[in-house]
Amino acid sequence: MRPARAWIDLDALRHNYRQARQLGGGRALAVIKADAYGHGAVRCAQALEAEADGFAVACIEEAMELRESGIRAPILLLEGFFEPEELALIERLGLWTAVASDWQVEALARHPGAAPINVWLKLDTGMHRLGLSPAAFRAAHARLSALPQVRVQVMMSHFARADETGCQRTTEQAQVFAQTIAGLPGDTSLSNSPALLAWPQVRGHWARPGLMLYGATPLPVGAALPVELKPVMHVHSRVIAVRDLAAGEPVGYGARFVAQAPVRVGVVAMGYADGYPQFAPNGTPIQVDGAMTRVIGRVSMDMLTVDLTDLPNAGVGSEVQLWGDAPSASVLAQHCQVSAYQLLCGLKRVPRSYR
Ligand SMILES: *Cc1c(COP(=O)(O)O)cnc(C)c1O
Protein backbone atom coordinates (compact mmCIF):
# COMPACT_ATOMS: atom_id res chain seq x y z
CA MET A 1 0.00 0.00 0.00
CA ARG A 2 1.13 3.52 -0.69
CA PRO A 3 2.65 4.80 2.56
CA ALA A 4 1.15 8.32 2.43
CA ARG A 5 -1.25 8.84 5.35
CA ALA A 6 -2.47 11.45 7.80
CA TRP A 7 -3.34 10.96 11.42
CA ILE A 8 -5.60 13.32 13.27
CA ASP A 9 -4.95 13.93 16.97
CA LEU A 10 -8.40 14.36 18.51
CA ASP A 11 -7.00 15.09 21.98
CA ALA A 12 -5.10 18.01 20.49
CA LEU A 13 -8.33 19.19 18.83
CA ARG A 14 -10.13 19.14 22.17
CA HIS A 15 -7.21 20.90 23.84
CA ASN A 16 -7.25 23.65 21.22
CA TYR A 17 -11.01 24.05 21.49
CA ARG A 18 -10.70 24.59 25.25
CA GLN A 19 -7.99 27.19 24.71
CA ALA A 20 -10.18 29.02 22.19
CA ARG A 21 -13.20 29.05 24.42
CA GLN A 22 -11.20 30.21 27.39
CA LEU A 23 -9.70 33.06 25.36
CA GLY A 24 -13.15 34.12 24.20
CA GLY A 25 -14.46 34.15 27.74
CA GLY A 26 -17.93 32.95 26.71
CA ARG A 27 -19.26 30.23 24.49
CA ALA A 28 -17.58 29.03 21.32
CA LEU A 29 -18.85 27.44 18.12
CA ALA A 30 -16.25 25.11 16.66
CA VAL A 31 -15.97 26.04 12.97
CA ILE A 32 -15.82 22.77 11.05
CA LYS A 33 -16.70 23.95 7.54
CA ALA A 34 -14.83 22.55 4.53
CA ASP A 35 -14.71 19.09 6.13
CA ALA A 36 -13.20 20.60 9.30
CA TYR A 37 -10.44 22.30 7.33
CA GLY A 38 -9.47 18.96 5.83
CA HIS A 39 -9.56 17.02 9.11
CA GLY A 40 -12.91 15.26 8.65
CA ALA A 41 -16.01 17.10 9.89
CA VAL A 42 -17.91 14.12 11.24
CA ARG A 43 -15.03 12.72 13.27
CA CYS A 44 -14.07 16.14 14.58
CA ALA A 45 -17.67 16.92 15.56
CA GLN A 46 -17.97 13.58 17.34
CA ALA A 47 -14.75 14.26 19.21
CA LEU A 48 -15.93 17.70 20.32
CA GLU A 49 -19.63 17.13 20.80
CA ALA A 50 -19.48 16.45 24.54
CA GLU A 51 -17.94 19.83 25.28
CA ALA A 52 -18.51 22.15 22.33
CA ASP A 53 -21.29 24.74 22.57
CA GLY A 54 -22.07 24.03 18.93
CA PHE A 55 -20.64 23.90 15.45
CA ALA A 56 -20.48 26.20 12.45
CA VAL A 57 -20.42 25.18 8.79
CA ALA A 58 -20.67 26.98 5.47
CA CYS A 59 -23.84 25.49 4.05
CA ILE A 60 -26.76 23.18 4.59
CA GLU A 61 -25.06 20.31 2.78
CA GLU A 62 -22.34 20.30 5.41
CA ALA A 63 -24.91 20.53 8.21
CA MET A 64 -26.88 17.62 6.78
CA GLU A 65 -23.81 15.41 6.79
CA LEU A 66 -23.39 16.11 10.50
CA ARG A 67 -27.08 15.53 11.35
CA GLU A 68 -27.10 12.31 9.32
CA SER A 69 -24.16 11.03 11.33
CA GLY A 70 -26.00 11.70 14.56
CA ILE A 71 -24.63 15.07 15.67
CA ARG A 72 -27.38 16.73 17.70
CA ALA A 73 -25.53 19.83 18.93
CA PRO A 74 -26.45 23.26 17.55
CA ILE A 75 -25.12 23.91 14.04
CA LEU A 76 -24.88 27.41 12.58
CA LEU A 77 -24.93 28.05 8.83
CA LEU A 78 -22.31 30.79 8.52
CA GLU A 79 -23.46 31.90 5.08
CA GLY A 80 -27.10 31.41 5.88
CA PHE A 81 -29.39 29.89 3.27
CA PHE A 82 -28.85 30.27 -0.45
CA GLU A 83 -32.50 29.88 -1.44
CA PRO A 84 -35.78 30.15 0.50
CA GLU A 85 -36.52 26.46 -0.07
CA GLU A 86 -33.83 25.60 2.48
CA LEU A 87 -35.86 27.07 5.33
CA ALA A 88 -38.10 24.02 5.72
CA LEU A 89 -35.04 21.82 6.14
CA ILE A 90 -33.37 24.32 8.47
CA GLU A 91 -36.44 24.15 10.66
CA ARG A 92 -36.70 20.38 10.52
CA LEU A 93 -33.01 19.82 11.32
CA GLY A 94 -33.04 22.49 14.03
CA LEU A 95 -30.22 24.46 12.42
CA TRP A 96 -29.26 28.02 13.25
CA THR A 97 -28.80 30.35 10.32
CA ALA A 98 -26.93 33.54 9.68
CA VAL A 99 -28.97 36.23 7.94
CA ALA A 100 -26.96 38.73 5.98
CA SER A 101 -29.26 40.11 3.26
CA ASP A 102 -32.67 41.73 3.01
CA TRP A 103 -33.96 38.98 0.73
CA GLN A 104 -33.25 36.48 3.51
CA VAL A 105 -35.24 38.63 5.95
CA GLU A 106 -38.16 38.63 3.52
CA ALA A 107 -37.89 34.88 2.96
CA LEU A 108 -38.11 34.33 6.72
CA ALA A 109 -41.14 36.63 6.91
CA ARG A 110 -42.87 34.46 4.30
CA HIS A 111 -41.84 31.18 5.91
CA PRO A 112 -44.77 29.65 7.80
CA GLY A 113 -42.74 28.22 10.66
CA ALA A 114 -44.02 26.01 13.43
CA ALA A 115 -40.90 26.14 15.60
CA PRO A 116 -38.91 29.41 15.74
CA ILE A 117 -35.70 29.47 13.69
CA ASN A 118 -32.66 30.82 15.51
CA VAL A 119 -31.10 33.63 13.50
CA TRP A 120 -27.64 35.15 13.75
CA LEU A 121 -28.11 38.56 12.20
CA LYS A 122 -24.95 39.65 10.47
CA LEU A 123 -23.71 43.23 10.36
CA ASP A 124 -21.15 44.41 7.84
CA THR A 125 -18.75 46.48 9.91
CA GLY A 126 -16.18 46.95 7.16
CA MET A 127 -15.26 43.61 5.65
CA HIS A 128 -17.75 44.37 2.85
CA ARG A 129 -18.40 40.77 2.00
CA LEU A 130 -21.56 39.52 3.74
CA GLY A 131 -23.75 41.40 6.16
CA LEU A 132 -26.34 44.14 6.42
CA SER A 133 -25.12 47.71 6.34
CA PRO A 134 -25.33 49.62 9.62
CA ALA A 135 -28.18 51.68 8.12
CA ALA A 136 -30.24 48.56 7.38
CA PHE A 137 -29.34 46.50 10.43
CA ARG A 138 -31.71 47.93 13.03
CA ALA A 139 -34.70 47.80 10.69
CA ALA A 140 -33.95 44.16 9.89
CA HIS A 141 -33.57 43.41 13.59
CA ALA A 142 -36.96 44.99 14.32
CA ARG A 143 -38.67 43.19 11.44
CA LEU A 144 -37.29 39.78 12.39
CA SER A 145 -37.96 40.30 16.09
CA ALA A 146 -41.64 40.88 15.30
CA LEU A 147 -41.94 37.50 13.54
CA PRO A 148 -43.13 34.61 15.72
CA GLN A 149 -41.33 32.10 13.47
CA VAL A 150 -37.95 33.75 14.11
CA ARG A 151 -35.79 34.28 17.16
CA VAL A 152 -32.96 36.80 16.75
CA GLN A 153 -30.47 35.02 18.95
CA VAL A 154 -27.13 36.60 18.11
CA MET A 155 -25.82 39.71 16.36
CA MET A 156 -22.60 38.92 14.57
CA SER A 157 -19.87 40.45 12.46
CA HIS A 158 -16.62 39.26 10.92
CA PHE A 159 -13.16 40.84 10.92
CA ALA A 160 -11.16 41.44 7.76
CA ARG A 161 -7.72 42.10 9.21
CA ALA A 162 -7.53 40.59 12.70
CA ASP A 163 -4.34 38.74 11.72
CA GLU A 164 -2.55 42.10 11.35
CA THR A 165 -1.63 42.91 14.91
CA GLY A 166 -0.49 46.44 14.20
CA CYS A 167 -3.60 47.45 12.24
CA GLN A 168 -6.39 49.46 13.87
CA ARG A 169 -9.04 48.17 11.50
CA THR A 170 -10.20 45.50 13.96
CA THR A 171 -10.93 47.97 16.73
CA GLU A 172 -12.66 50.25 14.23
CA GLN A 173 -14.88 47.39 13.11
CA ALA A 174 -15.65 46.59 16.76
CA GLN A 175 -16.63 50.23 17.33
CA VAL A 176 -19.02 50.22 14.37
CA PHE A 177 -20.52 47.03 15.78
CA ALA A 178 -20.99 48.47 19.28
CA GLN A 179 -22.55 51.68 17.94
CA THR A 180 -24.92 49.90 15.59
CA ILE A 181 -26.27 47.36 18.05
CA ALA A 182 -26.47 49.75 21.04
CA GLY A 183 -29.56 48.92 23.06
CA LEU A 184 -30.67 45.93 20.96
CA PRO A 185 -31.38 42.65 22.74
CA GLY A 186 -29.44 39.52 21.83
CA ASP A 187 -26.01 37.98 22.24
CA THR A 188 -22.98 39.05 20.22
CA SER A 189 -20.39 37.16 18.19
CA LEU A 190 -17.28 38.69 16.65
CA SER A 191 -14.10 36.70 17.07
CA ASN A 192 -12.50 34.30 14.62
CA SER A 193 -9.14 32.69 15.46
CA PRO A 194 -6.92 35.72 14.79
CA ALA A 195 -9.18 37.95 16.87
CA LEU A 196 -9.13 35.45 19.75
CA LEU A 197 -5.35 35.25 19.61
CA ALA A 198 -4.42 38.88 18.94
CA TRP A 199 -7.32 41.11 20.07
CA PRO A 200 -8.21 40.38 23.71
CA GLN A 201 -10.03 43.72 23.97
CA VAL A 202 -12.57 42.56 21.38
CA ARG A 203 -14.94 39.96 22.78
CA GLY A 204 -18.55 38.80 22.43
CA HIS A 205 -20.79 36.15 23.91
CA TRP A 206 -19.95 33.60 21.22
CA ALA A 207 -16.52 33.04 19.65
CA ARG A 208 -16.15 31.34 16.26
CA PRO A 209 -12.69 29.69 16.21
CA GLY A 210 -11.69 27.77 13.11
CA LEU A 211 -8.03 27.51 12.21
CA MET A 212 -6.75 27.57 15.79
CA LEU A 213 -8.79 24.46 16.61
CA TYR A 214 -6.49 22.61 14.27
CA GLY A 215 -3.39 23.89 16.02
CA ALA A 216 -2.23 26.28 13.31
CA THR A 217 -1.72 29.97 13.85
CA PRO A 218 -3.32 32.57 11.60
CA LEU A 219 -0.78 35.13 12.86
CA PRO A 220 2.61 35.58 11.21
CA VAL A 221 4.87 32.63 12.05
CA GLY A 222 6.86 33.49 15.17
CA ALA A 223 4.29 35.92 16.60
CA ALA A 224 3.75 35.18 20.29
CA LEU A 225 0.53 33.33 21.14
CA PRO A 226 -1.38 33.71 24.42
CA VAL A 227 -2.08 29.96 24.55
CA GLU A 228 -0.35 26.79 23.48
CA LEU A 229 -1.84 25.24 20.36
CA LYS A 230 -1.17 21.61 19.48
CA PRO A 231 -0.99 20.41 15.87
CA VAL A 232 -3.90 18.15 14.96
CA MET A 233 -3.06 16.94 11.45
CA HIS A 234 0.14 14.91 10.98
CA VAL A 235 0.94 14.02 7.40
CA HIS A 236 3.42 11.22 6.86
CA SER A 237 4.86 9.09 4.12
CA ARG A 238 8.03 7.11 3.43
CA VAL A 239 11.13 7.20 1.31
CA ILE A 240 10.53 4.81 -1.60
CA ALA A 241 13.85 5.14 -3.49
CA VAL A 242 17.32 6.57 -2.97
CA ARG A 243 20.00 7.59 -5.47
CA ASP A 244 23.34 9.35 -5.44
CA LEU A 245 23.90 12.35 -7.67
CA ALA A 246 27.32 13.55 -8.77
CA ALA A 247 28.08 17.25 -8.85
CA GLY A 248 26.36 18.84 -11.83
CA GLU A 249 23.51 16.32 -12.06
CA PRO A 250 19.90 17.56 -11.83
CA VAL A 251 16.86 16.01 -10.18
CA GLY A 252 13.26 16.01 -11.33
CA TYR A 253 11.13 18.10 -13.68
CA GLY A 254 12.73 21.20 -15.04
CA ALA A 255 16.05 20.37 -13.37
CA ARG A 256 15.15 22.91 -10.75
CA PHE A 257 17.77 21.47 -8.42
CA VAL A 258 21.27 20.75 -9.66
CA ALA A 259 23.79 19.17 -7.30
CA GLN A 260 26.71 21.47 -6.53
CA ALA A 261 28.51 18.60 -4.79
CA PRO A 262 27.63 14.90 -4.47
CA VAL A 263 24.09 14.62 -3.07
CA ARG A 264 22.10 11.67 -1.77
CA VAL A 265 18.50 12.05 -2.87
CA GLY A 266 15.47 10.37 -1.31
CA VAL A 267 12.20 10.01 -3.24
CA VAL A 268 9.10 10.41 -1.03
CA ALA A 269 5.60 9.15 -1.89
CA MET A 270 3.80 12.48 -1.57
CA GLY A 271 2.99 15.06 -4.20
CA TYR A 272 0.75 17.95 -5.08
CA ALA A 273 -2.15 15.60 -5.83
CA ASP A 274 -2.08 14.88 -2.09
CA GLY A 275 -2.23 18.56 -1.26
CA TYR A 276 1.47 19.14 -0.73
CA PRO A 277 2.27 22.62 -2.12
CA GLN A 278 3.33 22.26 -5.73
CA PHE A 279 5.61 25.26 -5.59
CA ALA A 280 7.54 24.36 -2.45
CA PRO A 281 10.97 25.91 -3.12
CA ASN A 282 14.30 24.16 -2.73
CA GLY A 283 15.08 24.23 0.99
CA THR A 284 11.50 23.76 2.25
CA PRO A 285 11.77 22.00 5.64
CA ILE A 286 10.75 18.34 5.86
CA GLN A 287 11.41 15.69 8.50
CA VAL A 288 13.03 12.31 7.79
CA ASP A 289 13.50 9.75 10.59
CA GLY A 290 13.04 12.50 13.15
CA ALA A 291 15.65 14.85 11.65
CA MET A 292 14.98 18.01 9.70
CA THR A 293 16.19 18.22 6.15
CA ARG A 294 15.05 19.96 2.95
CA VAL A 295 13.01 19.44 -0.18
CA ILE A 296 15.11 19.64 -3.37
CA GLY A 297 13.74 19.71 -6.90
CA ARG A 298 10.24 20.37 -8.11
CA VAL A 299 7.34 18.66 -6.36
CA SER A 300 5.55 16.34 -8.77
CA MET A 301 2.03 14.93 -8.67
CA ASP A 302 2.75 11.82 -6.62
CA MET A 303 6.33 12.24 -5.42
CA LEU A 304 8.83 14.73 -4.15
CA THR A 305 12.56 14.56 -3.52
CA VAL A 306 14.55 15.33 -0.38
CA ASP A 307 18.18 15.76 0.56
CA LEU A 308 19.49 12.78 2.54
CA THR A 309 23.19 13.70 2.27
CA ASP A 310 23.51 14.41 6.00
CA LEU A 311 21.27 11.50 7.02
CA PRO A 312 23.43 8.46 6.18
CA ASN A 313 21.16 6.09 8.08
CA ALA A 314 18.07 7.15 6.15
CA GLY A 315 17.03 5.00 3.23
CA VAL A 316 14.15 3.21 1.60
CA GLY A 317 11.39 2.89 4.19
CA SER A 318 12.46 5.89 6.23
CA GLU A 319 9.60 7.72 7.89
CA VAL A 320 8.88 11.20 6.51
CA GLN A 321 6.77 13.90 8.15
CA LEU A 322 5.50 16.41 5.59
CA TRP A 323 3.78 18.54 8.21
CA GLY A 324 2.60 18.11 11.77
CA ASP A 325 4.90 18.83 14.73
CA ALA A 326 7.84 19.80 12.54
CA PRO A 327 7.52 21.41 10.20
CA SER A 328 4.23 22.81 11.48
CA ALA A 329 1.52 23.50 8.92
CA SER A 330 2.05 27.22 9.48
CA VAL A 331 5.81 27.03 8.87
CA LEU A 332 5.43 24.86 5.78
CA ALA A 333 2.72 27.16 4.43
CA GLN A 334 4.91 30.20 4.95
CA HIS A 335 7.81 28.62 3.08
CA CYS A 336 5.50 27.83 0.18
CA GLN A 337 3.69 31.18 0.13
CA VAL A 338 0.31 29.63 0.79
CA SER A 339 -1.81 30.03 3.91
CA ALA A 340 -2.10 27.41 6.63
CA TYR A 341 -5.85 27.47 5.86
CA GLN A 342 -5.24 26.44 2.26
CA LEU A 343 -2.66 23.82 3.18
CA LEU A 344 -4.93 22.03 5.66
CA CYS A 345 -8.08 22.29 3.50
CA GLY A 346 -6.13 20.97 0.53
CA LEU A 347 -5.32 17.51 1.90
CA LYS A 348 -6.50 14.98 -0.67
CA ARG A 349 -6.13 11.28 -1.51
CA VAL A 350 -4.26 10.62 1.73
CA PRO A 351 -6.15 8.25 4.03
CA ARG A 352 -6.85 9.72 7.47
CA SER A 353 -6.79 7.86 10.75
CA TYR A 354 -7.84 9.15 14.16
CA ARG A 355 -6.29 8.87 17.60
C1 LIG B 1 -14.49 30.56 8.58
C2 LIG B 1 -15.13 31.54 9.50
C3 LIG B 1 -14.70 31.64 10.83
C4 LIG B 1 -13.48 30.92 11.36
O5 LIG B 1 -12.33 31.64 10.97
P6 LIG B 1 -10.86 31.22 11.44
O7 LIG B 1 -10.01 32.31 10.96
O8 LIG B 1 -10.56 29.91 10.79
O9 LIG B 1 -10.90 31.10 12.91
C10 LIG B 1 -15.41 32.48 11.67
N11 LIG B 1 -16.48 33.19 11.23
C12 LIG B 1 -16.90 33.14 9.96
C13 LIG B 1 -18.07 33.94 9.53
C14 LIG B 1 -16.24 32.32 9.05
O15 LIG B 1 -16.65 32.27 7.78
What are the boundaries of each domain within the chain?
Answer: 10-214, 233-354
**C-alpha of residue 5 to centroid of ligand 1, in Å:** 27
Which one of the listed residues 17, 122, 230, 253 is annotated catalytic?
A: 253
122 Cα nearest atom in ligand 1: 13
Residue type for position 304: L
Fold equal for 10-214 and 233-354: no
Bridge partners of residue 250, in order along the sequence? 258
Segments in the chain forming alpha helices (H): 10-24, 33-38, 41-48, 60-68, 86-93, 102-110, 134-145, 169-181, 193-198, 329-335, 340-345
The answer to whether 33 is a known catalytic residue is yes
pLDDT tens for residues 112-132?
988 999 999 999 999 999 999
For ligand 1, residues with CB inside 6 Å are: 31, 33, 78, 158, 192-194, 208-211, 218
Helix axes 134-145, 102-110, angle to 10 degrees: 10
Q: Just give the CATH number of 10-214.
A: 3.20.20.10
**C-alpha of residue 214 to centroid of ligand 1, in Å:** 13
DSSP 219: S
33 Cα nearest atom in ligand 1: 1
**C-alpha of residue 213 to centroid of ligand 1, in Å:** 11
341 Cα nearest atom in ligand 1: 8
CATH assignment of 233-354, given 2.60.40.10, 2.40.37.10, 3.40.50.300, 3.20.20.105? 2.40.37.10
Which one of the listed residues 33, 37, 122, 341 is annotated catalytic?
A: 33
Helix axes 41-48, 10-24, angle to 10 degrees: 60
State residue 334's pLDDT score.
97
CB distance 79 to 130 below 8 Å: yes
The CA–CA distances, whole Å, from 229 to 159, 181, 218 equal 21, 33, 12
The CA–CA distances, whole Å, from 334 to 30, 206, 331 equal 25, 30, 5
State residue 113's pLDDT score.
85
The answer to whether 253 is a known catalytic residue is yes
CB distance 108 to 84 below 8 Å: no
Q: Is the dihedral of CA 224, 228, 229, 230 positive or negative?
A: positive
State residue 15's pLDDT score.
98
- Flag residues of the chain having pLDDT under 70: none
State residue 21's pLDDT score.
98
State residue 114's pLDDT score.
87
Annotated binding residues? 129, 301
13, 31, 339: residue to mutate for ligand 1 pocket, most atoms within 8 A of CB? 31
